[in-house]
Every structure is written in structure tokens, then in C-alpha cells.
């Protein structure tokens, strides 16, 4: 009962953020700010995705080897990396025209499959990460582990496919 009460403020905040973030991203994609050149950002945020993937894997290794403090630190780093990715991603898209994918044939369908699954799953990763993290903060480690088994592969997929999408579209940037 006490744990449920402790999580209640997190729950409301997580739900609010899980709605606000994708809505804000969708709205901000329609906003175009002229006069700024953030064309240098895509390789940076693709690199951040790659680093996130590596750190996620090391964090899982850490917890499996009973290095709880290291695991906690690495997960906080992953959350920070993902937040910085999101800021850069929004900045780039608010100041740049969309880049159409120029590949043809089967590779075009592969690209769009990866892109669409990446985008759809990225909408759901915010609540998954935040609920998983809040369970760790609350000390409900059994529930934390249970949710982490779902959160980890999805987050890892998003991080890896972020790099793949960048590599596939980068030849078509202006």
C-alpha cells in the first residue's frame, strides 16, 4: 500500500509526459523556423543513438553481474542520451525541410519498414522507460525487472534502428 502511494505521483507525471512528448513532437514538426542551420545534427544524434545502444547493453551486463550502482548510473546516462537525442531531433526538424528517401526497389520497402517501426515504438518507449525507472526508484525491483524485460529490447531496437535509418537516408541529405 505504501509503495502504491509512493508511485502515484510518478504515475500521473509519467502518463502526462507520455502524452505531452509525442503530441509536442508532432506539433513542433509542423513549426518551421527559418534562419538557423542545424544540418550538422543528424550524424550527432545518430551517434547518440549508437552510444545509447552500447550503454544499454553494458547496463544489462552490469546488472546481470550484480553491479547495481553501475547499472543505475548507466541507465541514467541512457535516459540523458535519449533526452538529448530528442532535443536535437526536434531542433533539426523544426529548422530543416524533410529529406525524402531516394532508394528504389526492395531497399525502399526495407527503409520504410524500419522507419515506421522505429517511429511507432518510439512513441511507446517514453512510458516504458519512465515506468521501469520509477519502479527502480520505488524499490519494487521484481516489478522493475518484469517491465525491464519488455522495455530493454524495444529501447535497444529504437536505438539501433535510429542509426540504421540515418545511414540509409544520409546520402539523400542536401
Q: What is the pLDDT of residues 83-134, one digit of tens each?
A: 999 999 999 999 998 899 999 999 999 999 999 999 999 999 999 999 999 9
Contact 138, 7 (CB under 8 A): yes
Grid-cell match 553501475, residue found: 70
Q: What is the pLDDT of residues 7-58, one digit of tens each?
A: 456 889 899 999 999 999 889 888 889 999 999 999 999 999 999 999 999 9
Contact 95, 32 (CB under 8 A): yes
Amino acid at each position: 500500500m505504501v509503495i502504491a502511494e509512493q508511485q502515484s505521483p510518478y504515475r500521473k507525471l509519467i502518463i502526462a509526459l507520455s502524452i505531452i512528448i509525442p503530441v509536442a513532437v508532432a506539433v513542433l514538426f509542423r513549426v518551421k523556423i527559418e534562419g538557423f542551420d542545424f544540418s550538422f545534427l543528424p550524424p550527432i544524434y545518430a551517434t547518440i543513438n549508437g552510444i545509447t545502444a552500447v550503454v544499454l547493453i553494458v547496463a544489462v551486463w552490469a546488472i546481470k553481474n550484480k553491479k547495481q550502482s553501475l547499472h543505475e548510473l548507466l541507465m541514467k546516462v541512457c535516459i540523458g542520451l535519449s533526452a538529448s537525442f530528442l532535443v536535437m531531433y526536434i531542433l533539426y526538424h523544426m529548422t530543416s525541410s524533410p529529406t525524402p528517401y531516394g532508394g528504389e526497389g526492395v531497399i525502399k520497402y526495407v527503409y520504410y519498414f524500419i522507419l515506421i517501426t522505429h517511429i511507432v515504438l518510439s512513441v511507446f518507449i517514453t512510458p516504458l522507460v519512465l515506468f521501469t525507472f520509477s519502479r527502480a526508484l520505488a524499490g519494487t525491483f521484481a516489478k522493475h525487472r518484469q517491465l525491464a524485460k519488455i522495455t530493454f529490447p524495444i529501447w535497444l531496437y529504437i536505438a539501433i534502428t535510429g542509426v540504421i535509418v540515418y545511414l540509409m537516408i544520409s546520402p539523400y541529405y542536401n
